[in-house]
């Protein structure tokens, strides 16, 4: 019975490791996507402020 228990535990540990790895990969992908989204939002805000000659984000500078 001990051998089967050890095998079940090992299988469960391997499943947990795979799940943790996939979660870490997903988090990394989401962080990368968030960074790209922030960059695009900043560029869009600068272009909009420049076009309207108005400070939209409240930083005191239009287009920067």
> Does 8 fall in a domain?
no
Total residue count of the chain as it appears in this document: 64
* 49 touches 56 (CB < 8 A): yes
> Does 25 fall in a domain?
no
Q: Which two tokens stand for residue 22?
A: 């996939």
Domain that holds residue 40: 32-64
> Does 41 fall in a domain?
yes
Alpha helices (runs of H) in 1-64, residue ranges in sequence order: 2-52
> Does 16 fall in a domain?
no
> Does 62 fall in a domain?
yes
What confidence score (pLDDT) does residue 18 get?
A: 82
The domain total for the chain is 1
What confidence score (pLDDT) does residue 1 get?
A: 60
> Does 39 fall in a domain?
yes
Q: What is the pLDDT of residues 10-60, one digit of tens each?
A: 888 888 888 878 888 889 889 999 999 999 999 999 999 999 999 988 888
Q: Which two tokens stand for residue 62?
A: 């239009």
* 57 touches 46 (CB < 8 A): no
Helices (runs of H) and strands (runs of E) counted in the chain? 1, 0
pTM: predicted TM-score of the whole model, two decimal places: 0.63
């Amino acid at each position: 019975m001990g051998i089967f228990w050890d095998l079940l535990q090992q299988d469960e540990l391997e499943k947990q490791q795979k799940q943790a790895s996939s979660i870490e990969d997903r988090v990394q992908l989401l962080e990368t996507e968030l960074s790209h989204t922030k960059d695009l939002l900043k560029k869009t805000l600068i272009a909009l402020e420049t076009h309207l000659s108005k400070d939209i984000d409240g930083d005191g500078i239009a287009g920067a």
